[in-house]
Amino acid sequence: MKKIIILLLILPLFTNAQRGQGSYGDYSGFKKKKNSSYFRGNISGKIIDQNSKEGLEYANISLTNSKWNKVIEGTISGKNGKFSISDILIGEYILTVNYLGYKKKEIPFKLTKKNPDINLKEINLEINSEELTEITIEESKPVFESKLDKIIYNVENDNNGSSEDATDVLRKAPLLSVDFDGNVELRGSKQIKFLLNGKASSFLSGDLSSALQMIPADEIKSVEIITSPGAKYDGEGEAGIVNIITQKKIIDGYKASLDGSFGTRNNKNGFNLTLGKGRFSMSARGNAWYSWPREGTTTYLRQDWNESGDTNTLTNNGISNSQWIGYGGGINMYYDINAYNSISSDINIRGRNTPSDNSTILDYSSIDTMYSYNSSLISTNNTTNISWNTDYTKTFEDNEEKELSFAYQFGNRIKNSISDISEMDNLINLKNINNESNINHTFQIDFIQPINNHLIEIGGKIIYRNQNMDYETKSENSSFIFENEIFKYTQLVNATYVSSNLNFDNDYSLKMGTRYELTKIKGNWQNNSQLPFSNDYYNILPNATLSKKLGAGKSLKLSVNSRISRPSSSYINTNTNISDNKNITIGNPDLTPSTTNQIEIGYNSFGRKYQGSYYLYMKRSENLIESF
């Protein structure tokens, strides 16, 4: 066991520490459920015929909580009659075994922190000569749930249709839309903050569509859609937050799978391997995917006016041919040290190569000029993402809803791109070479203190981003002269928050809090082609959500919140980026984040026959970042 602990501390391997727990359709505001905070156990055994001693496959097995007298879990026996149920809260239960033609058998047992794992070994079933007269159907778990500040899509409870990866899962989630290329929108906006098990992850930054394809659908427990995020979450993400909760079940043994899919758009092959023993589990996965060559068309119209009111019109009509090849892999580990301490770690890597060939016809007209010409852009982009995450979570014996957690994340995104730009009349002949490296370090601490029926949450976070951009532009036309340069950019974000989750009589719940974020940025050019700069700013982001339960699966809420959108380094870097002589981009180091204040009224209904969400919201945004 000591060797396992040392391995976890040395290897940069992390799985998910936070869980999403359904509530069988019950709505309870923001009172914290007793899920990952409680120690869990496992039960296993083998169902056999009492006379022949042969294993009985497909026996129905259900687990009933003795205190609540409610079935909380179920499974069927596998080959040779073996079964196992994991991730069970400590407590007293009754295991019920039913098999057609045999008498029902009930076995009471108790899981304790000292003895959390029970092996019932062989369970003998006696043949029943009486004819089956009654079938009892247990209530199914809900697919969709409405919570105070979010909608939960319980993927593991959805038996309709099949999904290959996270992209397919998100297509079924409420309020989300996903196009053919894997781009995700929340209520029509792409300004979404993606989380993995409640925490920001470098794994989901950059090329999001590739990252989503790396997460198998059967590893996703639930998806949370948060349109009015609380103070605990980062202030970025104007549209809201999508939190992907993955499975964290420890198996005793191993499980391996190979998968592949082929289609007219994408092709994918991959493998998954899971190993488990006692309170330790490890999984590994790998994927490779590629697309067929694709042709697309674009049309772009831009009009601007000078001080005299004269109109300048630019029209682009283009044809593009593109293709991409991607790969990825990851290793995850999880270990329960004891009933109150757990540690998890994971490391992931993914890459993508995207060649493209674009040809465009540009038409430009002004008061005194009119011309048309062809433009060609041939580019190749290679991107590699590496991420490492480690979590430590501690609960307390006096109150296991009290929780202290620490997290560290490391990410490195490497991007190399080459583009050749040429125009038929030689107005521009350029070659752009860009090599980027973006390193992120994140430190986070969170503490939850229950007080009666309420929760108080406080925490802090430090994010340090260090980005180097080595760019070079070569021109065959003497009218364009560029210097090779290396742009160095750093961003430091210090954040603190306090939040309260309050539950009142008559099914009212209130969540309110405030988040403070201080941002410091610096930039300089290695060859001193421009003067260095620095900029400091802070944001105070309050939020409040009031909710009322109207009935089973129905709720009404009112919320107000503030969000920000920081300018990326590409908007700040003053390097000249030219795609044609009428599309020239230059960054602005004096940019500050845009802010969005939102008020929202929402109604959710997730019943047996009808399911729907209705929202009416108003946003006011300031300091928007736009080109001109």
The mean pLDDT value for 520-546 works out to 90
Looking at the domain assignment, is residue 139 inside a domain? Answer: no
Q: For residue 57, give Cα distances in angstroms to 62, 103, 137, 344.
A: 15, 15, 20, 35
The number of folded domains in the chain is 3
Q: Amino acid letter at 338?
A: N
The mean pLDDT value for 224-236 works out to 92
- Number of CB atoms found within 10 A of residue 219's CB: 21
Entry pTM: 0.73
Looking at the domain assignment, is residue 499 inside a domain? Answer: yes
Residue 529: pLDDT above 50?
A: yes
For residues 599 and 481, membership in a common domain is answered with: yes
Task: Give dist(CA 335, CA 297) in Å, integer.
Answer: 51
Q: Which domain holds residue 236?
A: 144-246
Q: What are phi and psi of 411, to 5 degrees?
A: -145, 145
Do 195 and 203 touch, CB atoms closer than 8 A? no
Residue 512: what pLDDT?
96
For residues 479 and 559, membership in a common domain is answered with: yes
Q: Amino acid letter at 158?
A: D
436 compared with 164, residue with greater pLDDT = 436
For residues 204 and 285, membership in a common domain is answered with: no
Residue 33: pLDDT above 50?
A: no
Do 61 and 77 touch, CB atoms closer than 8 A? yes
Residue 422: pLDDT above 70?
A: yes
For residues 228 and 333, membership in a common domain is answered with: no
Residue 242: pLDDT above 90?
A: yes
Looking at the domain assignment, is residue 308 inside a domain? Answer: yes
Which among 339, 242, 330 is positioned nearest to 285, based on CA atoms?
Answer: 330
Q: Which of 162-166, 584-588, 593-597, 610-614: highest mean pLDDT?
A: 593-597
Q: What are phi and psi of 438, to 5 degrees?
A: -125, 110
For residues 101 and 30, membership in a common domain is answered with: yes
Q: Which CATH number is 220's domain given?
A: 2.170.130.10
Task: Give dist(CA 84, CA 312) in Å, integer.
Answer: 71
Residue 287: pLDDT above 80?
A: yes
pLDDT category at 250 given cuts 50, 70, 90 is low
Task: Give dist(CA 568, CA 576) in Å, integer.
Answer: 16
Looking at the domain assignment, is residue 507 inside a domain? Answer: yes
Q: Identify the domain boundary among 246, 266, 295.
A: 246
Residue 140: what pLDDT?
58
For residues 285 and 425, membership in a common domain is answered with: yes
- Tell me the chain's radius of gyration from C-alpha atoms: 28
Q: Which CATH number is 87's domain given?
A: 2.60.40.10
pLDDT category at 627 given cuts 50, 70, 90 is low
Looking at the domain assignment, is residue 91 inside a domain? Answer: yes
Among the listed ranges 104-108, 233-237, 276-280, 345-349, which one has the minimum average pLDDT value?
Answer: 276-280
The mean pLDDT value for 338-364 works out to 87
Looking at the domain assignment, is residue 133 inside a domain? Answer: no
Residue 482: pLDDT above 70?
A: no
Task: Give dist(CA 230, CA 493) in Å, integer.
Answer: 18
For residues 222 and 282, membership in a common domain is answered with: no
Residue 601: what pLDDT?
95
Q: What are phi and psi of 182, to 5 degrees?
A: 85, 15
Mean pLDDT for all residues in the chain: 82
Angle at the Cα of 173 from the Cα atoms of 182 and 62, rounded to 5 degrees: 125
Q: What pLDDT, in 10s, does the model give residues 91-138?
A: 899 999 999 889 999 999 998 887 888 999 899 999 876 544 455 545
Q: What pLDDT, in 10s, does the model give residues 353-412?
A: 988 888 888 788 887 778 777 888 888 999 999 999 999 999 887 887 899 999 999 999
Q: Looking at the chain, how many residues does it have?
A: 628
Q: Residue 288 contacts by C-beta under 8 Å, 6 or more apart in sequence?
A: 268, 269, 270, 325, 326, 327, 328
For residues 364 and 479, membership in a common domain is answered with: yes
For residues 156 and 300, membership in a common domain is answered with: no
Q: Amino acid letter at 359?
A: S
Task: Give dist(CA 111, CA 122) in Å, integer.
Answer: 19
For residues 239 and 270, membership in a common domain is answered with: no
Task: Give dist(CA 186, CA 195) in Å, integer.
Answer: 14
Q: What pLDDT, in 10s, does the model give residues 551-576?
A: 778 899 999 999 998 888 778 877 76
Four-point Cα dihedral 189, 194, 197, 201, nearest 10? 180
Looking at the domain assignment, is residue 389 inside a domain? Answer: yes
For residues 40 and 187, membership in a common domain is answered with: no
**Tokens linked to 442:** 């994140």
531 compared with 575, residue with greater pLDDT = 531
Residue 249: what pLDDT?
61
Task: Give dist(CA 93, CA 106) in Å, integer.
Answer: 10
Looking at the domain assignment, is residue 5 inside a domain? Answer: no
Among the listed ranges 53-62, 203-212, 376-385, 401-410, which one has the minimum average pLDDT value?
Answer: 203-212
User: CB pairs under 8 A, 24+ apart, for 69-75?
Assistant: 71/138, 74/138
Task: Give dist(CA 554, CA 607) in Å, integer.
Answer: 8
For residues 50 and 68, membership in a common domain is answered with: yes
Q: What are phi and psi of 94, to 5 degrees?
A: -125, 125
Q: Which CATH number is 519's domain given?
A: 2.40.170.20
